[in-house]
Amino acid sequence: MPKSSLPKNSDGPPQGPPINIEIRGDDYDDVLATANSMRQFLRELDFEGVEELKIDVDKRKPELPITIDREKARRYGLSTQNIGYTIRTALFGREVSTFKDGEDDYPINVRFEESSRNNVDALMNQKVIFRSASDGQIKEVPISAVATAERSTTFSSVKRKDLDRLITLSSNVLEGANANEIVLKMQASLEDFNAPRGVQFAFTGQQEEQAKELAFLSQALLLALFLIILIIVAQFNSITTPFIIGFSVFFSLIGVLLGLVIFQMDFVIIMTMIGIISLAGVVVNNAIVLIDYTDLIRERKRKELGEENHLPFSEVVESIVQGGRTRLRPVLLTAITTILGLLPLAIGLNIDFVTLVTEYDPRIYIGGDNNVFWKPMSWAIIYGLTFATFLTLIIVPVMYWWINRMLYKYRLKEAV
């Protein structure tokens, strides 16, 4: 098999073809004609990266229809059921007994040998043995006496979807090609394609599955953020704190996208989105550590100065500086340990611990099939956490300072 005909190894769980167009309608001939004309239309446009557009239906599959003369069959007292059952037994077999070997039972099937199964004369000349309903006698009638066989061609299969007949036009993409870009170009080109009345087409396969996965994981991310906000509001008894922490999560998402763009990596829907959802928890933890310690310093200063309600704003700024200085090391250590822990998974570092113990040979190598699956998630967390850690140390204190500055100005106006 040539290398170009093999499907591309996909990152993540198995999905449909990268290019998959479903053409459906009531009239199968119209659907097939539309599929052929669409394939020719797209081939003439010669999209770069498309391997070969194929139709999943072949109209040249050989067929052997058997036509029964019902008048002759009635004269012999023979039913169409008897004829069909006899032909089926010859081709596919019939269980006549069971062979027992210990506790295992094996069915014994009887059918024609292979040379006879492929011989039309042998199939048609076999005798149908039945008991006549009129006189109760056992009779034998050759199938050829009441039926004729003709050679023809037919469809290889007839598929349906929502009661409509369906034909699929699909293709793999060449190595290095972006399936999403190709599909967008095809969708734009097919706006000028005129399909017959009653025939519809839509892009499905990998694109449809990716859209469903993205919608589901986006809802999961929003639900996770909503629960995080509820917990933070309950913990800090404040509305502004979730606002500050939400910004850090947003910047971590920017870091993921920037990393994928800079290093030319694919956005794999499932694993990259799982990485983003996992990343939200780590980033939120860093921001909580920073804000919680800053609030703790403010509370200590308020008690030291004997202030009943609010500290002077200069003391708030000093608390922010002191909190950032003290929590710099824990935040950096959390990020660095997470990144270093994920690097072996991201680059696909493999160590054989069995041979390391038995033969003192770890057989270290980079890559492997497991790396294809876990790499998108690992790099998403690494890029987002690297970007968000430094921004957390900058953006979170700045946002904290800015919000408190607005609150102090608002209270000052109220006092006046």
- Check: CB of residue 167 under 8 Å from CB of residue 36: no
Tens digit of each residue's pLDDT (9 = 90 or more) over 297-333:
888 888 887 765 667 778 888 888 998 888 888 888 8
Tokens 């870009």 appear where?
Answer: 181
Q: Which residue has the higher pLDDT, 391 or 384?
A: 384
Map out the domains of the chain with their CATH numbers. 17-59+155-204 (3.30.70.1440), 62-152 (3.30.2090.10), 210-415 (1.20.1640.10)
φ, ψ of residue 190 in degrees (nearest 5): -75, -5
Q: What would the mean pLDDT of 242-254 be, rounded to a whole number?
A: 81
Average pLDDT of the chain? Answer: 82
Distance between CA atoms of 52 and 32, rounded to whole angstroms?
18
Q: Which residue has the higher pLDDT, 309 or 173?
A: 173
- Check: CB of residue 124 under 8 Å from CB of residue 142: yes
Residue 9: per-residue pLDDT: 52
Exposure string over 329-367, b if 16+ CB within 10 A, otherwise e: eebeebbeebbeebeebbebeeeeeeeeeeeeeeeeeee
Alpha-carbon Rg of the chain, whole angstroms?
36
Q: What would the mean pLDDT of 184-212 be, rounded to a whole number?
A: 84
Contacts of 221 (CB under 8 A, 6+ apart): 273, 276, 277, 280
Tens digit of each residue's pLDDT (9 = 90 or more) over 208-235:
777 788 888 888 888 888 888 888 888 7
Residue 185 amino acid letter: K
